[in-house]
Chain A
Amino acid sequence: MMRPRWQKVLADLRGNRGRTALVIASIAVGLFAFGVIATLYLVIRQDMRGGYAAIQPANIRLRTSLIDEDMVSSIRKVAGVKDAQGARLLNLRLQKAPEEWITIELNSQKDFENSNISKLSLEEGTLNPSKRQILIDRYKLPDINAEIGDLVAVETPAGQIRQIELVGIVSDLTNGAFSGGGGFFLSPVQGYVDADTLEWLGLPLPDWYDTLYLTVEGDGMDQSQIQAVADRVRDELEDRDVSVTSLATRRTDDHPNSPYVNAISSVLLLLGLFIVFLSTFLITNTLQALLQQQVEQIGIMKTIGARRTQITVIYMMLILAFGVLAFLLAAPLTSWVSFQLMGFLVYQLNFNLLGFRIVPVVVIAQALIAIIVPQIAAFIPIWRGSRLSVQEALSGVRQGATKARQASSRGIVRFKLLSRPLLISLRNTFRSKGRMALTLVTLSLGGALFISTFNVQRSMANYIEQISQYFIGDLNVTLAYPYRVEKIEELLSPLDEVSHVEGWMTARSEILHQDSSTGDAVQLLAPPGGSQLVEPKLLAGRWLQPGDQNAIVLNELFRSTYPDLQVGDTLRLQVNGDETDWVVVGFFQFAGQSAGYMAYTNAEYLSQLVGLPGQAVLFRLVAARTDLTISEQEALGVKVQNLLERRGIQINEVEAGLSVSQTAADGFTILTAFLLFMAILAAIVGSIGLAGTMSINVMERTREIGIMRAIGSSNGILMLMVIIEGYLIGIISWALGSLLAFPISNLMSNSISLALFEASTSITYTPTGFLIWFVVVSLLSIGASVLPARKAANLTIREVLAYE
């Protein structure tokens, strides 16, 4: 038979199930939140890096004049090159709906199945397309409304429409790795075809490659080694009369979306710290309340011979049992929820999980926390309780402690205006100052975290709005070739719906280093001087002015990669093969690191420079009505497209203005969704904290409630008292949490934007979080008080007075 002292532990666990459930829940929710955060933090980074390295991503991409397979073989022999792969990249138009065409980027190479560079992962179908067949990347697949076996229409460079069969869905983890101006989220639909299909689409063989992908010897982690190999390969190509139009490099572990994962990780780290902190408070608070109820029993045990250590051990065992049960509950739930969440992230951030697994470090950490934190949290109350003299414990009165209590009740009596139940509630609320403080800290922190995630989301959304300030205009029309701006304006003038047309020039360029080697690609965007369709956010210097010649404004990526570059400096770029010098007049903030290098200059100057004065390829149209929806913009787009095409203008793409910010928003959707999850997590921790504390507070007073009823208080008044008290605590914690939300929001949004944009953003506050939490707090604090109070009210007075 079990020893009576352990019988007592067991009886405490089983006796008051509601209370046991609350204590376990409060420990488990902390363990769970910590576990999910730690699992995500460890697994996402590991799997994103590991999964990316596993497909042997290209370290170097060169865009060249046309080359053949022999040339690729000779490049393979260049020192430091591990493997080389030739490819053809081609943008075509793909029919999404009867009147709707979108851009598809076709990647064509000899063999996808046995490729050693940037391997595709198969999701569905085959990795081996034959003639007239195509593979599509999973991410933008929903954009084209097609399934495996469907025929999709594409328009060849010569303008013919061809039907091509979708035979495979793949994931290409390198998507966005080398695109200068967009990254993963902004890249168009990706398609993969073989050489025969390419020929069928009208591109002649055998000199059909225009792109070289290379991997370097070694692990591919050393940026300078990669750069050295790249320079050698370029020299080799140029020696063989191949011109290199662009060159980009990337480390083997550097997934294109790693900035987003870094952003997520930084939030995780911060939240993780807060949640551990929060859970510790929650556990301390709950256990203190629990031990408060045990004081009399401690006194009894002392009179019948229990030593202080025996009492301490009994309660430590009880708390150990709570911890173990909480761990058993939290650990499996943690794994399940973490991997569920990661399933979502995998698709959104384009990486592959290395498989569902239990992360031993996390489980061990959870076990340790489950065992140690509650012991630490309970140690002081246990020790204090065991130190009470028997007399004090049995009577519930601390000698020498009577003074404060009398004083506080005297203080309250002065508020003559307040009703009696309110007075009693008020006094109850502040009766135990230490416990009260703990409760408030716990609830406020939980609330603050919840509210903060909304503010951070709002700031993110603001950021996206800010991006769209660079794409004002209802339609963006990209032409296949430069046309005279005046001609396009004239063609569009019969359309009443269009009020204003701007012709923009664009050009691709590369940074020229001091040793005249080319570096990363820079997208040059050139609005006409004085354009009203860009409202930039300047980080330094000024924006372009009409009449500026070789003035250039750079995005934030330049600042982080070339910290020495200042306003007033000269930047050397290779534009269309020519070396050109530009004066940096300012820096602007765009969509952060993953957007690549972008620069603005005046259209007049750039079109002159590239030998196309007065011409443009990019046309921005402003509608007469200012409040078009995205579908109205798209409808207008169809009209514009038809009009221009009838006049023989070749169009690459017509894009609704709002779709730009929508596309840009995609990158943040994932963060937003993620933050929402975190908000829910914070709310769960906070709510369980709130509900638990309230219920335990009321349970603690079951006896008092019984006595009040015995001396004639009606149930109505008792309920009112309990509700007022619970609500008061809830509202105070809401107010404190709201205050605390300001610095926490700031901290969180700064750490995200530092990871994403390498700059701290201005935080925007939204009432949403504050309001939602207010409602949650109101409902929970009342609910959590009323339920146990109802239970207390339903007990007979005899039962209540016999209550422990």
Chain B
Amino acid sequence: MLNNFVKSNGRSGGRSRERSEQETKISEQSQIRLTNLVKTYKSAAGELPALNGVDLEIYPGEFVAITGKSGAGKTTLINMITGVDRLTSGEVWVDDMPLHKMRENQLAQWRGRTMGIIYQSFHLMPSLSLLDNILLPIDLCGLYRNGESTRRAMDLLTQVELQDHAYKPPSAISGGQQQRVAIARALANDPPIIVADEPTGRLDSVTAESIFQIFLSLVEHGKTILMVTHDSNLAYRASRTLEIADGEITTSNLSYNERLN
């Protein structure tokens, strides 16, 4: 169903296929590395530590599920990895980029090409058609080619089975459909990493399952995926599960595949 999602000659795609042949033996070098990461929110009530010195390594091609109680710090952790919020202390490395040292502007372009971000509340541009929503990141990251880009965006929409709605505004389609558009948008620049914060949180179990299937096929194509979820069944099927409580990683379970082995 998702054969064309990722360009077959893509850098990460190529490498990951080799890796998937080796089956699960996680590669030499980590793709995401957090060391002693601290995030403290300042508010009227005083300082609130949301992350207390997190150390974490994520390898290319991993499908990591993040779970934990509400308020545990999952979103905060995701925000640190995507660089959409400023950390308090510690280091965040993605490949060889030190996010903790980078400026907003550098981050923006880098993020646009490296990470696809998916939110629980879709966050589509309300005034743009679905097609334009997908084209926008391509344009903003300077990869826009007339015609070619539109064809790619249309392909992505077809992959999520929304090609018939291409010219509708986001308000005219259902939540599950909006989430699929958000996924298509996250893939627009063919980023190696996909980060999703409760992507199925607002969806019924059948729709949630179809979204999860998309993620699985993305992993198959070599993408690294981080997904926050409350659904333990979904988390269980990821290659690794992290549980967060009170701003610390409490458990790091082995993957489904390893458990199978």
**Interface, chain A (partner B; CB < 8 A):** 1, 3-5, 7-8, 11-12, 15, 296-297, 299-310, 387, 389-391, 394, 399-400, 402-403, 406-407, 799, 802-804
Q: How far is the CA of A390 from the CA of B107 in the complex (A)?
A: 11
- Within 8 Å by CB of B125, from A8, A387, A390, A403, lies A8
Q: Which residues of B contact A301 (CB under 8 A)?
A: 125, 136, 140
Q: How far is the CA of A399 from the CA of B85 in the complex (A)?
A: 10
CB pair A308–B144 under 8 Å, yes or no, is: no
The winner among A300, A803, A804 for most chain B CB atoms within 10 A is: A300
CB pair B135–A4 under 8 Å, yes or no, is: yes
Is residue B137 contacting chain A, with contact meaning CB distance below 8 A? yes
Chain B residue nearest to A294 (CB atoms) is: B127
Is residue B171 contacting chain A, with contact meaning CB distance below 8 A? yes
CB pair A305–B108 under 8 Å, yes or no, is: yes
CB pair A390–B85 under 8 Å, yes or no, is: yes
CB pair B82–A305 under 8 Å, yes or no, is: no
Q: Which residues of A contact B109 (CB under 8 A)?
A: 305, 307
CB pair B123–A394 under 8 Å, yes or no, is: yes
Chain B residue nearest to A798 (CB atoms) is: B171
Q: B113-143 CB contact bits vs A (8 Å, 1 = yes)?
A: 1000101000111111000100111111100
CB pair B42–A296 under 8 Å, yes or no, is: no
CB pair A8–B111 under 8 Å, yes or no, is: no
Q: A4-B136, A306-B140, A403-B44 are in contact. List 13 more A-B contacts (CB 8 A).
A: A1-B146, A3-B139, A3-B144, A8-B127, A8-B128, A8-B136, A302-B84, A302-B104, A303-B123, A308-B105, A308-B108, A394-B84, A804-B127
- Within 8 Å by CB of A305, from B41, B111, B123, lies B111
Given A302-B84, A304-B185, answer yes or no on A4-B111 (Cβ-Cβ < 8 Å): no
Q: Which residues of B contact A302 (CB under 8 A)?
A: 84, 104, 108
The residues in B between 43 and 86 inclusive whose CB is less than 8 angstroms from any CB of A are 43-44, 79, 82, 84-86
Is residue B13 contacting chain A, with contact meaning CB distance below 8 A? no
Q: How far is the CA of A402 from the CA of B46 in the complex (A)?
A: 11
- Within 8 Å by CB of B171, from A4, A304, A400, A802, lies A802
Given A391-B79, A799-B171, A804-B127, answer yes or no on A406-B44 (Cβ-Cβ < 8 Å): yes
Chain B residue nearest to A400 (CB atoms) is: B42
Q: Which residues of B contact A403 (CB under 8 A)?
A: 43-44
CB pair B136–A5 under 8 Å, yes or no, is: yes
Chain B residue nearest to A407 (CB atoms) is: B44
Q: Which residues of A contact B85 (CB under 8 A)?
A: 389-391
Q: Which residues of A contact B111 (CB under 8 A)?
A: 303, 305
Q: Which residues of B contact A300 (CB under 8 A)?
A: 123-125
Q: How far is the CA of A521 from the CA of B119 in the complex (A)?
A: 89
Q: How far is the CA of A309 from the CA of B106 in the complex (A)?
A: 12
CB pair B82–A303 under 8 Å, yes or no, is: yes
Chain A residue nearest to B75 (CB atoms) is: A391
- Within 8 Å by CB of A310, from B127, B140, B146, B171, lies B140
CB pair B171–A389 under 8 Å, yes or no, is: no
Q: How far is the CA of A140 from the CA of B128 in the complex (A)?
A: 65
Is residue B112 contacting chain A, with contact meaning CB distance below 8 A? yes
CB pair B112–A305 under 8 Å, yes or no, is: yes
CB pair A304–B84 under 8 Å, yes or no, is: no
Chain A residue nearest to B86 (CB atoms) is: A389
Q: How far is the CA of A387 from the CA of B108 in the complex (A)?
A: 12
The residues in B between 85 and 113 inclusive whose CB is less than 8 angstroms from any CB of A are 85-86, 104-105, 108-109, 111-113
Q: Which residues of B contact A299 (CB under 8 A)?
A: 123
Is residue B150 contacting chain A, with contact meaning CB distance below 8 A? yes
Is residue B189 contacting chain A, with contact meaning CB distance below 8 A? yes
The winner among A1, A12, A387 for most chain B CB atoms within 10 A is: A1
Q: Which 3 A-B pairs have the closest CB atoms?
A: A305-B112, A390-B84, A304-B137
Q: How far is the CA of A389 from the CA of B119 in the complex (A)?
A: 16
- Within 8 Å by CB of B127, from A15, A304, A309, A402, lies A15
A selection of 14 A-B contacts at a CB cut-off of 8 Å is: A4-B135, A7-B135, A8-B132, A297-B125, A297-B126, A297-B127, A301-B125, A304-B140, A305-B113, A305-B141, A307-B105, A389-B104, A402-B43, A802-B126
Nearest chain A CB to B105's CB is how many angstroms away?
Answer: 5
Given A304-B140, A305-B140, answer yes or no on A4-B117 (Cβ-Cβ < 8 Å): no
Secondary structure dominating the interface of A: helix
Q: How far is the CA of A1 from the CA of B150 in the complex (A)?
A: 9
Nearest chain A CB to B121's CB is how many angstroms away?
Answer: 9
Q: How far is the CA of A391 from the CA of B117 in the complex (A)?
A: 13
Q: Which residues of B contact A391 (CB under 8 A)?
A: 79, 84-85
Q: How far is the CA of A5 from the CA of B141 in the complex (A)?
A: 11
**Interface, chain B (partner A; CB < 8 A):** 41-44, 79, 82, 84-86, 104-105, 108-109, 111-113, 117, 119, 123-128, 132, 135-141, 144, 146-147, 150, 170-171, 185, 188-189
CB pair A306–B112 under 8 Å, yes or no, is: yes
Q: How far is the CA of A4 from the CA of B137 in the complex (A)?
A: 9
Chain A residue nearest to B153 (CB atoms) is: A4
- Within 8 Å by CB of A308, from B104, B117, B125, lies B104
Nearest chain A CB to B169's CB is how many angstroms away?
Answer: 8
Q: How far is the CA of A390 from the CA of B43 in the complex (A)?
A: 18
Q: How far is the CA of A391 from the CA of B42 in the complex (A)?
A: 14
Chain B residue nearest to A386 (CB atoms) is: B104
Q: How far is the CA of A4 from the CA of B104 in the complex (A)?
A: 22
Q: How far is the CA of A8 from the CA of B82 in the complex (A)?
A: 25
Chain A residue nearest to B189 (CB atoms) is: A305
Q: How far is the CA of A402 from the CA of B150 in the complex (A)?
A: 42
Q: Which residues of A contact B135 (CB under 8 A)?
A: 4, 7
CB pair B127–A11 under 8 Å, yes or no, is: yes
Chain B residue nearest to A303 (CB atoms) is: B117
The winner among B86, B126, B170, B189 for most chain A CB atoms within 10 A is: B126
Chain B residue nearest to A11 (CB atoms) is: B127
Q: How far is the CA of A12 from the CA of B144 in the complex (A)?
A: 21
Nearest chain A CB to B129's CB is how many angstroms away?
Answer: 8
Chain B residue nearest to A13 (CB atoms) is: B127
Q: Which residues of A contact B150 (CB under 8 A)?
A: 1
Q: How far is the CA of A528 from the CA of B117 in the complex (A)?
A: 98
Given A302-B84, A304-B112, A306-B108, answer yes or no on A5-B44 (Cβ-Cβ < 8 Å): no
CB pair B127–A12 under 8 Å, yes or no, is: yes
CB pair A399–B137 under 8 Å, yes or no, is: no
Chain A residue nearest to B178 (CB atoms) is: A802
Given A304-B185, A306-B108, A390-B85, answer yes or no on A4-B123 (Cβ-Cβ < 8 Å): no
Q: How far is the CA of A439 from the CA of B117 in the complex (A)?
A: 38
CB pair A4–B139 under 8 Å, yes or no, is: yes
Q: How far is the CA of A122 from the CA of B1 in the complex (A)?
A: 89
Chain B residue nearest to A15 (CB atoms) is: B127
The winner among B42, B79, B128 for most chain A CB atoms within 10 A is: B128
Nearest chain A CB to B167's CB is how many angstroms away?
Answer: 11
Q: How far is the CA of A300 from the CA of B128 in the complex (A)?
A: 12
The winner among A4, A8, A306, A407 for most chain B CB atoms within 10 A is: A4
CB pair A4–B132 under 8 Å, yes or no, is: yes
Q: How far is the CA of A2 from the CA of B36 in the complex (A)?
A: 46
Q: Which residues of B contact A11 (CB under 8 A)?
A: 127-128, 132
Q: Which residues of A contact B127 (CB under 8 A)?
A: 8, 11-12, 15, 297, 804
Q: Which residues of A contact B125 (CB under 8 A)?
A: 8, 297, 300-301
Q: How far is the CA of A403 from the CA of B85 in the complex (A)?
A: 20
CB pair B108–A307 under 8 Å, yes or no, is: yes
Q: Which residues of A contact B140 (CB under 8 A)?
A: 5, 301, 304-307, 310
Nearest chain A CB to B29's CB is how many angstroms away?
Answer: 25
CB pair A296–B128 under 8 Å, yes or no, is: no
Q: How far is the CA of A307 from the CA of B139 in the complex (A)?
A: 12
Q: Which residues of B contact A390 (CB under 8 A)?
A: 84-85
Nearest chain B CB to A123's CB is how many angstroms away?
Answer: 58
Chain B residue nearest to A6 (CB atoms) is: B139
Q: Which residues of A contact B105 (CB under 8 A)?
A: 307-309
Q: Which residues of A contact B123 (CB under 8 A)?
A: 296, 299-300, 303, 394
Nearest chain B CB to A302's CB is how many angstroms away?
Answer: 6
Q: Which residues of A contact B146 (CB under 8 A)?
A: 1
Q: Which residues of B contact A394 (CB under 8 A)?
A: 84, 119, 123
Q: Which residues of A contact B188 (CB under 8 A)?
A: 304
CB pair B113–A4 under 8 Å, yes or no, is: no
